[in-house]
């Protein structure tokens, strides 16, 4: 059993994205275990607001995206002061800016020997220049990667770190919040789907890397063969981007009677559980995939592209259908397989639900992160 720790968790995210949700859930889970968590977050952004709503103590920082000698110096001093005054046992960072600030704060004189841990969320290869070599070989004691693909993106930078202090820890999903009983006929009607329709949805930020245009192209291939198919795109995005997607769909014969666009959905579980098929059409970037686990936990059959860490979360033919990225024809065929075969949808959905209960629960996740902390300490 890990003794109660005083932890400083840093994340410089501006947007409410997967790793921001990951950080908040981690802090909440560790707090439930009796640890004292201080969150160092970018001042004035959504992650800070959500942390405060959860009752978590927050250290507000500037965490500017670019080097700024004034704000960076202020953050550096604030991090050093928090480590000393809060008797911090371990610092855990999630992005490059906060990683560097914490490393430099701890490297300067007059600081206690507090270890530094970094979570790697992305699969973009890290540069092996001299600064990064110093960061990982001298300043960082432990590394958590959200997938094997994310760990591989660090290459040999992690070689100086003890093997027991670098671990792949897959993300988690709240299987009580995302669950099949959340399915709602009223939600389906609001989304334009009748009880007998096949509702196929892509949930995620509306931006090019998420592949919404490929999803629309795939949908255009499906509608002629599955008259009952209805489609949904939902997520945050600029008004202009959403309007361009809407026109793109209409140009392919997908009007509002067949294809619904929604923005940010505050109550997501009933929407996801009300889908018949959940789609991930990403063309890159996915170190992990929060929505993949939410689909599985909700008992929804999944079609997803083979990018980043997604093939580590989903098993092709067992709990999902995996297709190549940037291939609307393959994506459409995968959707058709599920739309045409209710038995296959049910089989994949049940297996996916069972797997999340067994492998992707919150408590398992906190156990594995805690084990990494034990190794580092």
The pLDDT > 70 percentage for the chain reads 100
- Asked whether residue 53 falls in the same domain as residue 120, the answer is yes
Does residue 325 form part of some domain? yes
Determine if the pTM surpasses 0.85: yes
- φ, ψ of residue 251 to 5 degrees: the values are -65, -20
117-141 pLDDT, tens digit per residue, is 999 999 999 999 999 999 999 999 9
The answer to whether residues 72 and 186 belong to one domain is no
pLDDT tens-place string over residues 143-179: 999 999 999 999 999 999 999 999 999 999 999 999 9
Is residue 324 exposed (0-12), middle (13-18) or buried (19+ Cβ within 10 Å)? exposed
Q: Does any domain span residue 1?
A: no
Taking Cα atoms as reference points, which of 107, 150, 104, 157 lies closest to residue 130?
157
Kindly state whether residues 365 and 337 are assigned to the same domain.
Answer: no
Q: Is 17 a member of any domain? A: yes
Return the ∠ at Cα 349 (arms to 228 and 213), rounded to 5°: 55
Q: Are residues 14 and 133 in the same domain?
A: yes
> Between residues 285 and 4, which one has the greater pLDDT?
4
The answer on pLDDT for 1 being more than 80 is no
Q: Are residues 184 and 159 in the same domain?
A: no
Residues 113, 165 share a domain: yes
Domain check: are 216 and 153 in the same one?
no
Give residue 117's domain range. Answer: 6-172+361-376
Q: Work out the average pLDDT over 11-28.
A: 95
Task: Using alpha carbons, select from 128, 123, 173 the residue that is nearest to residue 152.
Answer: 123
371 confidence band (pLDDT: 50, 70, 90): very high
| pLDDT, position 328 | 97
User: Once rounded to an integer, what is the mean pLDDT over residues 330-351?
Assistant: 97
User: Are 193 and 158 members of one domain?
Assistant: no
Q: What integer is the mean pLDDT of 348-370?
A: 97
Q: What is the pLDDT of residues 184-241, one digit of tens each?
A: 999 999 999 999 999 999 999 999 999 999 999 999 999 989 999 999 999 999 889 9
Average pLDDT over residues 15-26: 94
Chain segment 268-298, per-residue pLDDT in tens? 999 999 999 999 999 988 999 999 999 999 9
Same domain, 164 and 185: no
**DSSP codes of every residue in 238-267:** -HHHHHHHHHHHHTTT--TTTEEEE---SS
pLDDT, tens only, 247-269: 999 999 999 999 999 988 989 99
Task: Look at residues 267, 273, 188 and name the one whose alpha carbon lies nearest to residue 231.
Answer: 188
Q: What CATH number should be reported for the domain holding residue 167? A: 3.40.50.2000
Both 168 and 39 in one domain: the answer is yes
pLDDT score, position 2 = 73
Q: Is residue 343 predicted with pLDDT exceeding 90?
A: yes
pLDDT tens-digit readout, 346-358:
999 999 999 999 9
Q: Is residue 215 part of a domain?
A: yes
Indicate whether 144 and 188 sit together in one domain: no
Q: Report the candidate in 311, 304, 369, 17 with the shortest Cα–Cα distance to residue 149.
A: 311
Domain count, the chain: 2
Q: Tell whether 234 and 186 lie within a shared domain.
A: yes
């Amino acid at each position: 059993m890990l003794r109660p720790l005083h932890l400083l968790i840093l994340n410089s995210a501006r947007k409410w994205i997967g790793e921001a949700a990951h950080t908040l859930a981690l802090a909440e889970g560790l707090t439930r275990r009796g640890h004292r968590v201080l969150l160092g977050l970018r001042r004035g952004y959504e992650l800070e607001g959500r942390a405060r709503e959860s009752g978590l103590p927050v250290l507000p920082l500037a965490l500017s995206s670019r080097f700024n000698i004034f704000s960076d110096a202020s953050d550096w001093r604030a991090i050093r002061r928090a480590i000393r005054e809060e008797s911090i046992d371990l610092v855990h960072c999630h992005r490059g800016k906060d990683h560097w600030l914490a490393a430099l704060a701890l490297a300067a004189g007059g600081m206690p020997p507090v270890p530094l841990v970094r979570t790697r969320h992305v699969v973009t290869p890290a540069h092996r220049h001299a600064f990064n070599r110093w960061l990982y070989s001298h300043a960082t004691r432990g590394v958590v990667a959200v997938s094997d693909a994310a760990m591989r993106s660090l290459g040999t930078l992690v070689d100086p770190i003890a093997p027991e202090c670098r671990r792949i820890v897959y993300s988690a999903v709240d299987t009580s919040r995302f669950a099949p009983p959340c399915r709602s006929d009223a939600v389906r009607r609001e989304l334009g789907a009748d009880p007998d329709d096949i509702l196929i949805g892509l949930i995620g930020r509306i931006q090019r890397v998420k592949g919404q245009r490929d999803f629309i192209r795939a949908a255009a291939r499906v509608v002629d063969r599955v008259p009952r198919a209805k489609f949904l795109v939902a997520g945050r995005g600029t008004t202009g981007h959403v309007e361009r997607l809407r026109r793109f769909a209409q140009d392919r014969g997908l009007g509002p009677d067949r294809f619904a666009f929604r923005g940010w959905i505050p109550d997501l579980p009933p929407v996801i559980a009300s889908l018949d098929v959940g789609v991930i059409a990403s063309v890159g970037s996915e170190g992990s995939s929060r929505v993949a686990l939410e689909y599985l936990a909700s008992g929804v059959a999944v079609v997803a592209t083979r990018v980043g860490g997604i093939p580590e979360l989903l098993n092709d033919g067992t709990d999902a259908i995996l297709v190549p990225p940037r291939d609307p024809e393959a994506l459409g065929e995968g959707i058709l397989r599920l739309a045409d075969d209710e038995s296959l949808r049910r089989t994949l959905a049940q297996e996916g639900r069972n797997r999340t209960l067994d492998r992707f629960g919150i408590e398992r996740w906190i156990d594995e992160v805690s084990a990494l902390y034990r190794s580092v300490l």
